[in-house]
Amino acid sequence: MDPVLAVFLLAIGIPNAVWPYKFAKFEEQVDSIGSKRSWSEVEPADWKVALTRVVGIGIALFALANLFAG
């Protein structure tokens, strides 16, 4: 894998693993576009926050493995 791509994936994975609530809330706010609910009212479900963290860790580990393998 290209080292630039691995660093890019790290830049995505680490913040998602560290601050999953903020990223999940942002996704819910984007999903609420066009609905009658305001952006400030939406809240992510607990499973979405947990999934965001798990995916962030997975992306970061994948990027690290490919960064140091090449």
Encode pLDDT of 38-66 as tens digits.
Answer: 888 899 999 999 999 999 999 999 999 99
**Model confidence at 69: pLDDT above 90:** no
3-state secondary structure of 57: helix
- Output the pLDDT for position 38: 84
Whole-prediction pTM value? 0.85
Note the pLDDT tens digit of each residue in 4-34.
999 999 999 999 999 999 999 999 999 988 8
CA nearest 56: which of 21, 25, 22, 18? 18
